[in-house]
């Protein structure tokens, strides 16, 4: 007689490669300048920062590097005395590059495999936002074959084709309860692919200044046949069937400008700005293969705005073997207050960094860097879950890379 309509409200997961997960560590030289230097540094990592600059390298090289990103977030619900922290985790983005071409030639070719987006947050199952997120681990791996051409001695162009492999692993609690009182859990895992491109133009006037213009296209990762698994009491299993899901995860485009010029015989100044097109996140669609009245396909509104970041760095050539550098930057968040989710508790952020490059020999060199980013405290009420509280995040990212040139 009493038909129990399980009209459970199931939120769409926020599968977004958002600002929070963009900690650019593709080049440890750039990391040491808080991200500045796309016009200044001409090396293997220009595959990422400006394919146009690649051809100006005076040698060929291979490079491998990585960072250990430690993303520490905290949350305090409005009116509560309890502060919740994410578990300590290290995300290891990496970058591997190879550049080759005849010496002094008008062309160079290269290939890069790197991770421009990625991160892991684990809030655990005991915090107020558990029904929004318990853990998220995301990674985008770009494979980019690249060509670069010298038009004149000063002016060069280049471009690469980007093939992306995206990995997602997300979990959240479900407000249905087992006989022992514990909440249910949903876990979504999947791999997707996407394509895009990366083009750049580099201009330098002798040793007076350099200008870099770089555009990285939007890459939409199409995730098909991901696994959705639900841990719910057996009486509800038919409403939460384990199955497959599809989703689209757009990674935003960015337009990057860099300027560099010497301010003394050994010191160079680099200034960079980036415009990231997050406004593509108007709506995120999520499709479960098997629908039930509880598991319905969702379209959730994200309404991100475009983001801008500015950074400046100074590189000091101590001697033939050693360069030292420092940098600072400020990033404006694309996330409007009411769309802040625990996956990406974003706000404007400040960055400070330092690094060095040491040349062991004419062939071998290494770069090391450390960047500290602070996502400023932000108090919000999320539009979907009505979770109200303050988030604050510290990011530490030491990194190391090694190059062999010939």
Partner 1 sequence: MKKNFKLYTAILSIGVLTGCAPDMDGDFQAEKGTADFSTYIAVGNSLTAGYADGGLYLEGQQVAFPNLIAEQLASVGGGEFTSPFFSSEQENGSGYLQLIALDQGNPVTEPVTDKLALRGQNDQGGPLYTKHLEPIQNLGVPGMRLDLAMVPGVGSTLGNPFFERLLPDEVASATRYIDFAAGHDHTFFSFWLGNNDVLGYATNGAVSRPDDPTTRLISVPEFEGAYRTFIEALTVKSQKGVVATIPDVTAVPFFNTVTTALLNAAVEEASGGQANTVYIATKTGAREASTDDLFILTFPSDLLAQPNQQGIPYGLHPANPIEDHYVLDSDEVKEVAARVKQLNAKIMEIAEENDLAVADVYAFLNKVKTGYVYNGIAISSAYITGNAFSLDGIHLTPIGNAIVANLFIDAINKQYKADVPKIDITSYRGIKYPNN
Residues that bind partner 1 (CB under 8 A): 1-9, 11, 70, 72-74, 76-83, 85, 126-132, 173, 175-183, 232-236, 316, 318, 324, 326, 352-354, 356, 370, 372, 374, 377, 384-387, 390, 392-394, 396
Whole-number minimum distance, CB 245 to partner 1, in Å?
19
* DSSP, residue by residue, 279-320: GGTTEEEEEESS--SSS--EEEE--PPPEEEEEEEEEEE-SS
SS3 sequence, 207-264? CCEEEEEEEECCEEEEEEEEEEEEECCHHHHHHCCCEEEEEEEEECEEEEEEEEEECC
Tally: H helices and E strands in the chain: 2, 21
Whole-number minimum distance, CB 368 to partner 1, in Å?
11
Alpha helices in 301-370 (DSSP H): none
Tell me whether residue 67 or residue 221 sits nearer to partner 1 (CB atom).
Answer: 67
Whole-number minimum distance, CB 195 to partner 1, in Å?
35
Tell me whether residue 352 or residue 402 sits nearer to partner 1 (CB atom).
Answer: 352
Tell me whether residue 43 or residue 392 sits nearer to partner 1 (CB atom).
Answer: 392
Tell me whether residue 134 or residue 256 sits nearer to partner 1 (CB atom).
Answer: 134
Q: How far apart are CA 96 and CA 98, in angstroms?
A: 7
Tell me whether residue 128 or residue 158 sits nearer to partner 1 (CB atom).
Answer: 128
Whole-number minimum distance, CB 143 to partner 1, in Å?
32
Tell me whether residue 130 or residue 202 sits nearer to partner 1 (CB atom).
Answer: 130
Alpha helices in 33-167 (DSSP H): 46-49
Tell me whether residue 361 or residue 386 sits nearer to partner 1 (CB atom).
Answer: 386
Whole-number minimum distance, CB 60 to partner 1, in Å?
31
Instruction: Report how far apart, in Å, the C-alpha atoms of 72 and of each of 171, 272, 331, 343 are.
Output: 18, 26, 18, 12
Whole-number minimum distance, CB 333 to partner 1, in Å?
16
Whole-number minimum distance, CB 255 to partner 1, in Å?
29
Tell me whether residue 6 or residue 195 sits nearer to partner 1 (CB atom).
Answer: 6
Decide: residue 88, CB within 10 A, 0-12 exposed, 13-18 middle, 19+ buried: exposed
In 3D space, the residue among 358, 209, 270 whose CA is nearest the CA of residue 35 turns out to be 270
Q: How far apart are CA 393 and CA 376, in angstroms?
A: 7
H or E element: which one contains 32? helix 28-32
* Residue 104 burial (CB count, 10 A): 7
Whole-number minimum distance, CB 6 to partner 1, in Å?
6
């Amino acid at each position: 007689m009493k038909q129990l309509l399980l009209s459970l409200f199931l939120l769409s997961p926020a599968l977004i490669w958002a600002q929070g997960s963009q900690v650019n560590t593709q080049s440890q030289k750039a990391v040491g300048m808080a991200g500045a230097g796309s016009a200044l540094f001409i090396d293997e990592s220009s595959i990422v920062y400006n394919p146009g600059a690649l051809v100006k390298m005076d040698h060929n090289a291979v490079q491998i590097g990585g960072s250990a990103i430690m993303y520490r977030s905290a949350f305090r619900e409005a009116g509560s005395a309890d502060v919740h922290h994410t578990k300590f985790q290290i995300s290891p983005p990496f970058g591997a590059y190879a550049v080759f071409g005849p010496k002094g030639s008008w062309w160079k070719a290269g290939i890069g495999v790197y991770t421009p987006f990625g991160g892991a947050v684990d809030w655990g199952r005991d915090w107020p936002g558990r029904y929004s997120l318990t853990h998220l681990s995301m990674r985008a791996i770009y494979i980019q074959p690249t060509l670069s051409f010298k038009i004149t001695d000063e002016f060069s162009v280049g471009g690469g084709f980007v093939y992306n492999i995206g990995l997602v692993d997300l979990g959240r609690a479900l407000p249905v309860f087992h006989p022992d009182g514990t909440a249910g859990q949903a876990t979504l895992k999947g791999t997707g692919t996407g394509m895009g491109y990366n083009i750049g133009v580099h201009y330098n006037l002798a040793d007076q200044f350099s200008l870099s213009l770089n555009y990285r296209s939007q890459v939409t990762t199409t995730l098909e046949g991901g696994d959705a698994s639900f841990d719910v009491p057996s009486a509800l299993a038919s409403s939460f069937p384990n199955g497959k899901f599809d989703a689209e995860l757009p990674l935003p485009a960015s337009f990057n400008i860099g300027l560099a010029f010497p301010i003394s015989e050994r010191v160079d100044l680099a200034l960079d700005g980036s415009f990231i097109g997050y406004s593509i996140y108007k709506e995120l669609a999520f499709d479960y293969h098997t629908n039930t009245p509880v598991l319905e396909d969702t379209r959730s509104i994200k309404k991100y705005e475009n983001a801008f970041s500015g950074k400046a760095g100074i590189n000091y050539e101590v001697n033939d073997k050693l360069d030292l550098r420092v940098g600072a930057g400020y990033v404006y968040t694309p996330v409007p207050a009411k769309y802040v989710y625990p996956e990406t508790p974003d706000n404007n952020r400040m960055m400070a960094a330092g690094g060095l490059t040491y040349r062991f020999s004419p062939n071998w060199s290494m770069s090391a860097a450390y960047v500290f980013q602070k996502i400023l405290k932000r108090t919000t009420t999320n539009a979907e879950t009505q979770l109200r509280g303050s988030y604050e995040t510290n990011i530490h990212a030491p990194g190391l890379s090694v190059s062999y040139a010939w």
